[in-house]
Homo-oligomer: A and B are copies of this chain.
């Protein structure tokens, strides 16, 4: 049998969980999993590195005392009802940036739907070269590799689809109606709870791949944010008053995003437009959009089928494909 150590670890956790407080000896585990006792030992060692508290006693074997607060591939997969998203998962304790890893994996041919997830990012990326604060075990820091057969100018639609999926997942879990701030933020009561960072590798009329980076502040308390973020950022916990399961939020998001994404690839943005508009924080507001050296002022009126923001200015309607929006 040709199994990776990771598979063995996942099966071992399942086995120990099933046996609750009872010890299981190495020989039994080894027989049940169909692996050499040394592999069992390796798996235990690796799981302990991931903060699984596994007690061992001579002659008795192992038992699982406590599972860590970690998002583990096996647990994601256990409940995930998707066709392509998260079928392949790269999971890390600490990375520079999941988007950066995603980019590298995509270049080496990682398939559509590959998920990169980390407990902590030391160089979490925000838009425009900014950073995204990603402390350990409090949020969802992840990236998806997509390979849509669409021209680059349709990519803004993808960013909004991801935002919509996130808002829907938050609503399903907590009842809170998060808003999508076009093109890439997710807000609760005007404060940033999540962000989407799309990065493309593209020719002029063809996308090679897209990395969709998703950051969600889940279980932060107010004290967990650095001072400079305190007034603009929030977390789901701060709003609902208790911790919520990052794992459930993750699977809910992936399922919703996959459904919307597959529809988007087939039918474009229009089937989602009404939903997107109902979640949008900008429509009906007076805004300025900074886009490179341009600055546009007017009323945010619509989001069109390409995902562009339609702004009614004094000189007529303007379509903006991306930019920095300020509500006046």
Contact = CB atoms under 8 A, between A and B. Distances in A.
Interface of A: 103, 107, 127-129, 149-153, 155-156, 159, 183-184, 197-206, 208, 291-292, 321-323
A292 B150 CA distance: 7
A206 B156 CA distance: 12
Nearest to A323: B205
A150 B293 CA distance: 9
B203 A201 contact: no
Contacts of A205: 127-128, 291-292, 321-323
A134 to B, nearest CB: 18
A128 B199 contact: no
A322 B154 CA distance: 13
A202 B202 contact: yes
A86 B292 CA distance: 28
Contacts of A199: 201-203, 208
A153 B203 contact: no
Nearest to A150: B292
Instruction: Tell me which of A103, A107, A127, A203 has the highest count of chain B C-beta atoms within 10 A of its own C-beta.
Output: A203
A128 B103 CA distance: 19
A204 B103 CA distance: 15
7 contacts: A127-B205, A128-B205, A150-B292, A151-B291, A152-B152, A184-B204, A199-B203
B151 A322 contact: yes
B322 A204 contact: yes
Nearest to A152: B152
Contact of A203 (B149, B150, B198): B198
Contacts of A155: 204
Contacts of A152: 152, 200, 202
A291 B197 CA distance: 26
A117 to B, nearest CB: 21
A107 B103 CA distance: 10
A183 B156 CA distance: 23
Given A153-B153, A322-B151, A159 B204 contact: yes
Contacts of A149: 292
Contacts of A184: 204
Nearest to A208: B199
Contact of A204 (B183, B201, B206, B208): B183
A156 B152 CA distance: 12
